[in-house]
Amino acid sequence: MICPLGRSVPAIGALLGLAWGMSGCRPKSASDAPRSRWSLLVASPDTVLIDTAGVEWVPPDARVWLRMPRQDGDSTTRPVAAVETHHDISCERREIRDREIRAVGVTGEVVGDRAVRDPSWIPASAHPTLRNLLAALCARLSELDPRGLHSLLGSDRP
């Protein structure tokens, strides 16, 4: 059963806390988790990785998975190594739509996840965790999309 997540979480630290709290929602084996190729998006102030192999293009937007590794090395019975979030990104409109959040254990298994009920687009500047990442995210998406940044931003000019 997927547990609903009604609203965006206010900070990466809160995402980590939520991941720990939902660790019993829906266990999956590592083989059920999507295959990915994580690449560094930003390293400061928090490390954020992007699944470059899993980007889906829903023209003119992109659907991406982001990963925030957990830094504290918590040694509980079901440790969470990272929090992964799934988003629709519109570089052209400068908007983000949250889709899902999941907690990943130290051996790569998904230990809990929640789908966003009735996801809606919000301005990137109002997104609590991604507002400062849109420029880096759109730059990376322009590298991955053969149409390039001009297409992502709705411009034919260089």
60-101 pLDDT, tens digit each: 899 999 999 987 655 555 688 999 999 999 999 999 999 999
User: Does some domain include residue 155?
Assistant: no
26: closest CA among 78, 97, 64, 75? 78
pLDDT surpasses 80 at 3: no
Q: What is the pTM of this model?
A: 0.70
pLDDT surpasses 70 at 152: no
Compute the distance between CA of residue 127 and CA of residue 19 in angstroms, rounded to an integer. Answer: 18
User: Does some domain include residue 56?
Assistant: yes
Give backbone dihedrals phi and psi of 118, rounded to 5 degrees, phi first.
50, 65
User: Does some domain include residue 90?
Assistant: yes
46: closest CA among 117, 132, 151, 141? 132
User: Does some domain include residue 156?
Assistant: no
> Could you give the number of structural domains in the chain?
1
The parent domain of residue 10 ranges over 3-148
Residue linked to tokens 């400062």: 132
What proportions of the chain, in percent to the nearest 5, are helix, strand and coil?
A: 20, 35, 45
